[in-house]
Structure 1
Amino acid sequence: MTCTAIGWGSACVGCMPEMNMKAVELPIISHDACQKIFVSPINLTQTMEFCAGYVNGSKGIGSGDSGGPLVCDFEGMMVLAGVTSAIHAKYPESYPAVFTRVAAFTEWLLDTMKSN
């Protein structure tokens, strides 16, 4: 499945954020493939996190995109699947990014919205 990440992150670590919002299509990759890339210090929890992006790719999440959405087309409906959580420290656009799995927090989100 291919999804779209959106954000104002910069093209290099430490650079100023982009002036215009950018979007990039990223494929979801397997937990095992992601785990091999982020061996330490990240300990990925499959039920709460997943990865999307290209291995040694030329496009991906930029520095400063953390907290941004990853939306996926699910049967014709755009669904918020993830929130950008972690990127490769030195080459963020060349490696997959880690996303918080929104579905893991659905109950909490609904309860919080109901009580507020």
Structure 2
Amino acid sequence: MMSVNRIIMHPDFEKFHPFGNDIVMLQLHLPVNFTSYISPACLPTPGMQLPIYSSCWITGWGMLNEDTPLPPPFRLQEGKVSLVENKLCNMLYEQRLSKDKNYSVYEEMLCAGNFLTGKAICQGDSGSPLVCDLFNTWVLVGLASWGVDCRHPIYPSVFTNVTYFTDWISKIQRLTPPPEPTDVPPQTPFPNGLLRAVGSPGPHAALMPPRTWLPLLSVLRAWQQALQ
């Protein structure tokens, strides 16, 4: 387990529409030590165009479906999905959601799903990564944000579009001071047996120096209230 030194929410979180700017930066006390179970994914470059129907993977410890929680030993779940055009995603949600619910997929969001297998995010997966194999490199393109209930028929899941926020992420990394070494609490080892590599990336995994910054979602309003 890694302890968090600082939480920085996006200043415009839900300022303009539901789940808008749904991203937070977590600064860890210590760098992450990469292992055969823990590998980094690259951040996309600013303005990167993501090929629709790219081969991507979602992972998380959320519920298996709307009525079934993940049972012990709580193994990390994974599913192969494809990117879906925002226009198509909006059309699907307009048919599913009632008119009094003003939920739309905006430019800072993206959709992904698998219409054949029904793979999608579920309760408890908020903040989980969406990684795509682009040019033989695993790239973090999305962070699980919202969707309809995970019952059949399964609709595409909606993610924060990381590409949209690369400049903001770089700004936070540049302007935030590093954690004080004296403030580091004891770290709890994480049991490797609960993890396995996502999609067997092998040589496609992008190896980078250990970082103390991790971009994750914040859909928990309690965090927002605690920081006010």
TM over 0.5: yes
Find 2:159's aligned residue among 92, 99, 104.
Answer: 99
What is the deviation of 1:21?
0.6
Q: Give the equivalent residue in structure 2 for 1:54.
A: 114
Higher-strand-fraction structure: 1
What is the deviation of 1:38?
1.7
Deviations 1:21-51, CA, capped at 9 Å, x for gaps:
1111101111221011222431211x21111
Q: Calculate the TM-score normalised by the size of structure 1.
A: 0.86
What is the deviation of 1:88?
1.3
Instruction: Tell me how far apart the structure 2 counterparts of residues 76 and 26 of structure 1 sit (CA, whole Å).
Output: 17
Q: Is 1:81 equivalent to 2:141 in the alignment? A: yes
Instruction: Tell me how far apart the structure 2 counterparts of residues 5 and 78 of structure 1 sit (CA, whole Å).
Output: 12
Instruction: Tell me how far apart the structure 2 counterparts of residues 78 and 53 of structure 1 sit (CA, whole Å).
Output: 18
What is the deviation of 1:90?
5.3
Structure 1 residue runs of 4 or more that deviate by more than 6 Å after TM superposition = none
Structure 2: state its 5+ residue gaps.
Answer: 1-53, 95-100, 177-228
Find 1:44's aligned residue among 98, 105, 123.
Answer: 105
Structure (1 or 2) with the larger CA radius of gyration: 2
Q: Partner letter of residue 44 of structure 1?
A: V
Instruction: Tell me how far apart the structure 1 counterparts of residues 153 and 167 of structure 2 sit (CA, whole Å).
Output: 32
Q: Give the equivalent residue in structure 2 for 1:7.
A: 60
RMSD: 2.0
Structure 1: state its 5+ residue gaps.
Answer: none
8 Å contact 2:62–2:123 — kept in the other structure? yes
8 Å contact 1:57–1:93 — kept in the other structure? no
Q: Is 1:20 equivalent to 2:81 in the alignment? A: no
Q: Calculate the TM-score normalised by the size of structure 2.
A: 0.46
Aligned pair count reads 115
8 Å contact 1:71–1:80 — kept in the other structure? yes
What is the deviation of 1:54?
2.6
Instruction: Tell me how far apart the structure 1 counterparts of residues 116 and 90 of structure 2 sit (CA, whole Å).
Output: 15
Find 2:123's aligned residue among 49, 59, 63.
Answer: 63
